[in-house]
Structure formats: C-alpha cells, structure tokens
Amino acid sequence: MTVLMKVVVKAIPAPATQPLRHLILRPNQPVDECIYPGDEDSGTAHFGAFLEGKLIGVASIYNQSLEGEGSPDVWRIRGMVTLEEMRGRGCGGRLLEACFDHAQSHNGDEIWCNARTTVMGFYERFGFRKQGEEFDLPGIGPHFVMVAKLDGDLNLPAGSGAVREYTLRATH
C-alpha cells in the first residue's frame, strides 16, 4: 500500500531558510554564511515545504544574473534543500516549481544555479543543462553552472505566491 503525506509549499521570510541551509548546505561554516546576498531584496522569494507544520525543505530565487547583477529576465536559484529523511518524495521538485513560477510571474526568461555535482540529476530532471567547466567552491565542493529556459507553461495549481498543498508519497 502506498502511504501518502500532505505537504504545503508556501512563501517564507528569509531568516526561516537559515537553519536548513546551515544544517545541510554549510554545516561546517558559521550560520552567518547562510545569509546570502540579496536575501532581503524585493524581487527575491523564499519558499518552504511543510509537513504537519514542520519545515522539511527550502529554496530561494533571486533576480540575479550570472555576473551577480539585477537583471529583468535572469533568475538564480539558491539554498535548495530537502531534509535527508524526506528526499525522493517530490518535495524538492515542488519547491523548484514554486521558484520557477515566481520567476515566470516576474517575466523571467532564464534560471540558473551553481549546482553541486552530486545533485545535477535533480536539476536535469527539471530542464536544467550544464554550462561551462566544472569549478570548485572552497569548503563545499565541485559544481557546474546549470541553466534552464522558462517555456511559459508550467501548468501549476494556483498562482505565484499561493499556498499550495500536495499529496506526495511518504516513502520512496
């Protein structure tokens, strides 16, 4: 029998992302390293996935070009995290889609991220393709820039900024 769980994805304030960023992405760095440039910018959005009120995943999207500048069309994903025991159930994908939807609703055309080589398959699953050469982020590891085009038809329930409820499988 497939056991299901209800997961809510909604916008959250920037500071709410920091505990999961710290726990999973930067456990060996000071928690201040989990405050990213642009976290509080007006165009930035942060999303959380909740299971029975507990935060189980986060993702953020910034209006930033590869060169780090504000750009109307180009958006950056950062801080993409699902709790280890919750992976493989669809939470990461739903968070990524909330980011796509935010960018698209702001006329975004392209999304990029610095993808850890360990999770490139996750990004490829959502249309990202690697660009350029592998590079190392000190203390974190090997990465590729990955880029996805927004094609205009995400077909997501409700609109950007909505609270979305999903029924996902509870085991994988």
Alpha helix ranges (H) inside the chain:
18-20, 91-105, 120-125
Residue 27 within binding range of ligand COA, rule CB under 6 A:
no
SS3 state of residue 21: helix
Tell the smallest beta-carbon distance from residue 80 to ligand COA (Å): 4
Tell the smallest beta-carbon distance from residue 116 to ligand COA (Å): 4
Task: Say if residues 46 and 81 touch (Cβ distance below 8 Å).
Answer: no
SS3 state of residue 11: strand
Q: In sequence order, what are the beta bridge partners of 60?
A: 46, 78
Residue 121 within binding range of ligand COA, rule CB under 6 A:
yes
Q: Which stretch binds ligand COA (CB under 6 A): 4-12, 85-93, 97-105, 131-139?
A: 85-93
Residue 92 within binding range of ligand COA, rule CB under 6 A:
yes
Which residues make up the interface to ligand COA (CB under 6 A)? 24-25, 80-82, 87-93, 115-116, 118-119, 121-122, 125
